[in-house]
Structure 1
């Protein structure tokens, strides 16, 4: 009986060794296929990559153009703001004087129709 179990254990160990060899061969084949597929995939991907990189560069240039436009817009806005402030400072004194003249220039004379109404009623 002991001989038979040793024989079965021996067969089991041989089967394990054979399974490991099969697994190793499968891994090696997989690795070889991956090495073969990678250059083919890169070759197939190259035109797409170039097209996308070109699109990216064009988008970057467009954004840079927009940034220049926004810089010009900021510059013109600052110039307009300076003009408005200058006009404000120039006209501020005249505006204040005009308002004060209108507020302080009070006509104290009694209108003719009010005088007449007062005379008739009295």
Structure 2
């Protein structure tokens, strides 16, 4: 009976070793599959990123002309307004200076209104 028991124990030990090998292989397989999935996802992300970047560049190129046209229109409008302001300045400069000098030089001395009320 002891020979049978030792043979049974030996069979169990061999089965346990075989099971440990199978578990180890399954772990290695799982790790490899995770690595493969990660690398595949990275590739897909890069491809998607490149596609979106190209799409953005195309959009930017198609709308860049509009920006330069708008800038030119704004520059032209600014020049017109600046010229108008400069013309108005040159036209009214002498009159404004004369009004300021008249106010400073031509003084009409008179009593303050509160002083007039106090004397009455």
Q: TM-score, normalised by structure 1?
A: 0.57
Match of 1:80 in 2: 102
Deviation at 1:4, TM superposition (A): 0.5
Q: TM-score, normalised by structure 2?
A: 0.58
- Per-residue CA deviation, residues 36-89 of structure 1 (Å, 9 max, x unaligned), is 22221111333322222211222222333344355334312134236625xx6x
CA distance in 1 between counterparts of 2:68 and 2:104 reads: 54
CA distance in 1 between counterparts of 2:34 and 2:92 reads: 78
CA distance in 1 between counterparts of 2:55 and 2:40 reads: 22
Does residue 48 of the first structure (1) align with residue 70 of the second (2)? yes
- Output aligned runs, 1:6-21, within 5 Å: 6-21=28-43
Match of 2:59 in 1: 37
Number of equivalenced pairs:
87
Does residue 23 of the first structure (1) align with residue 59 of the second (2)? no
Question: Which of 71, 79, 84 lines up with 1:62 in the alignment?
Answer: 84
CA distance in 2 between counterparts of 1:52 and 1:41 reads: 17
Aligned CA distance change for structure 1 residues 74 and 19 (closer, same or farther; 3 Å): same
Match of 1:117 in 2: none
SS in 2 for 1:48: helix
Unaligned 5+ segments in structure 2 are 1-22, 110-120
